[in-house]
Amino acid sequence: MSEELKRLLEQQGEAFDAFKNTHDEQMAELEKRGANDPVLMERFEKIETSLDKAVEGKAAIDAALEAERKEREDLEARLNRVGIQGGTEAEAKQALELKEFNVALSGLAAERKRQFTPLDQEGLDEYKAAFNHMMRHGKDDLSGDEVKTLSVGSDPDGGYFVTPDVSGRIVSKVFETSQMRQVANVQTISTDKLQGIEDLDEAGAGYAGEKTQGSDTKTPQTGEWEIPVWWLDTEPKATQQMLDDPAIDMEAWLSGKVSAKLGRFEEAEFVAGSVGKIRGLTSYNTLADSGSGVVWGKLGHIKTGVNGGFAASDPGDAIHDVVGLLKNEYLPNSRFMTRRTVITKIRKFKDGQGNYLWQPSFVLGTPEMIVGHGVSRAEDMPALGTGSLSLAFGDFERCYQIVDRQGIRVLRDPFTSKPYIKFYTTKRTGGGVVNYEAAKFLKFAA
C-alpha cells in the first residue's frame, strides 16, 4: 500500500468518525435548544470538507489503477483481435500500433478517395520522427522527405494524425477524470456512427414435441439505434522556447494537455449534452415510474416529495425507492451517480437501526457506498432545484454508450496567438442512451 493511499484511508476513517460524533451532537443540540450552535456547525463543515477530500483522493487512485487495468485488458483484446502472437510485450505493442495506424490511415484515404499503401515499421518510425519535427519547428522547416512521409496522415486543413500510442495516452488520461467513461460502455469505430439493435421484447418459449412445433410463437420486437460522432477540438499552447527544449517529451506534453481539456468538456456533454450534439444522460425526457417501467425512449423517475430536496421525515426512503425501480438483472452492476452536494445531504441519513446510509470505502478499488451500491461523483449532474434530476441510479454500462472515432489530428498554428504556438487538436466522439430501462432518476419534486 502506498504512503499516499495509507494517509487518505487514515484521514477518511478519522473524518468519518468525527462526522458521526459531531452530527449526533448537532441532532442533540437541535432537539434540546431548537437550533444549532454556530461553532458546532462550523466544525461540522470543516469535517465534511476533510472527509470529501479523502474520499475523492482515494477515488482518484482507484480510477488510475482501473485505467491501468483497462489498458492492459484492452491491449490483450486488441492483440487477439488482430492475431498478433509471440515475441516480447514491447514487440507486440509495436506491431499493434503499426496495424492500428494503418487502419486509421486507410480510413482517411477512403474518405479522401485516394490510394493508400500501408506503412511498414520503418515507415511508422519515420512518420513519428517527422511529426515530432513538425511539432517543434513547423511545416516550413520540414525536408522534402519529411513532408512526403507526413502526407499519408495529413488532411486538407494541414493537420496530421497522431499515432495510436499518443491517442492511447490521451484516452487513458481522459478515462481517469471522466466518471461516465469509467462506468459507461465505450466503443471505438472507424465510421461516422455506431448502430445497434434495440431488443424491446423477449422471445417466447414453450414445450416442443419431437415432431411438433411449440405452442409459443411470440417474436421479439426490435428497433434500431444509432449514435453519431461529433467533432471536438481544443487548442493547447506552448512557447517556442519550450518546443526547442529536447528534454521535453512533446508527445507526453500534448497528450496531457489535450486529455485535460477534452476530458472536462466530454464529461459535461455525456451528462448534460442536448439534442443535436453528444446526448447527455440527463437530457432525455422522463416519466413517473411506479415500478412497472415506462415507454421505451424515456427514462423512469420517482419523486422525493419535496421541491429541490428530500422529505423531512424518513428522507432515506426515496433512496430505497429508486433502487427498487430497477430490474433485478441490472442490480449487480448498478451504482449511483450524483453531485457532492447531494451526497452531503444523504450522508446524514440513517436507517431504522441507526446506521448511516452512506459509508466510505477502505478497500482499494471499491468506491464509497450508498445503501450498499457504489457512487460515482459527477459534478455535471444538475444542481438541486425544483424538478431537478440530480441523482441517477442504474447499470450505466448497459444504459449509456460512448463512441470514439479512430484518429486524433493536430494542426500547428504559429500565427494566431503570437508569441505562442497553438496546437489545434480535434477528435470525434459521440454518446447516448441505448437501454432506457437500465437507469432511473430521483426527481427532486413534490
Q: Are residues 162 and 271 in the same domain?
A: yes
**Structurally, how many domains does the chain consist of?**
3
Highest averaged pLDDT of the listed ranges 99-103, 150-154, 315-319: 315-319
Question: Which pLDDT value is given to residue 201?
Answer: 62
3-state SS assignment for residue 392: strand
Band (pLDDT 50/70/90 cuts) for residue 216 is: low
* Strand, helix or coil for residue 445: coil
Looking at the fold, whether 197 and 264 belong to one and the same domain comes out as yes
Average pLDDT over residues 198-216: 63
Does any domain span residue 311?
Answer: yes
- Residue 446 domain-assigned? yes
Domain with residue 295: its CATH number is 3.90.1690
Residue 346 lies in a domain: no
Window from 33-37, 116-120, 144-148 with minimum mean pLDDT: 33-37
Q: How confident is the model at residue 406 (pLDDT cuts 50, 70, 90)?
A: confident
Same domain, 312 and 406: yes
Domain check: are 44 and 189 in the same one?
no
335 and 435 both lie in a single domain: yes
In a domain, residue 10? The reply is: yes
- For residue 278, give the C-alpha cell: 453528444
The predicted structure's pLDDT at residue 314: 95
pTM: 0.86
Q: What percent of the chain has pLDDT over 90?
A: 62
148/161 same-domain check: no
Nine-digit cell string for 309: 430536496
What average pLDDT does the segment 103-126 reach?
A: 86
Q: Are residues 110 and 250 in the same domain?
A: no
Q: Same domain, yes or no, for 285 and 157? A: yes
Cα gap 44→38, rounded to integer Å: 10
| Average of per-residue pLDDT across 207-232 | 73
What is the model's pLDDT at position 4?
A: 93
HSE-CB of 91 using CA atoms within 13 angstroms? 5
Do 329 and 297 belong to one domain?
Answer: yes
Strand partners, 132: none
pLDDT at 111: 78
Residue 112 has pLDDT above 90, yes or no: no
Same domain as 146, residue 95: yes
Does residue 174 belong to any structural domain of this protein?
A: yes
Total H helices, total E strands in the chain: 12, 17
- Neighbouring CB atoms inside 10 A of 252's CB total 11
Look at residue 217 in the predicted model and tell me its pLDDT: 57
Nine cell digits for residue 360: 466510505
Residue 209 inside a domain? The answer is no
Reduced 3-state DSSP string for 70-88: HHHHHHHHHHHHHCCCCCC
Is the residue at 367 inside a domain? no
Structural domain of residue 308, as residue ranges? 153-201+219-339+378-446
444 φ/ψ angles, rounded to the nearest 5 degrees: -85, 80
pLDDT at 97 over 60: yes
Final residue of a structural domain among 82, 109, 132: 82
Q: Are residues 228 and 122 in the same domain?
A: no
**229 DSSP 8-state letter:** -
Q: Is 167 part of a structural domain of the chain?
A: yes
pLDDT band at 42 (very low <50, low <70, confident <90, very high): very high
**Residue 214 pLDDT:** 57
**Cβ contacts of residue 346 below 8 Å, gap of 6+?**
316, 319, 357, 358, 370
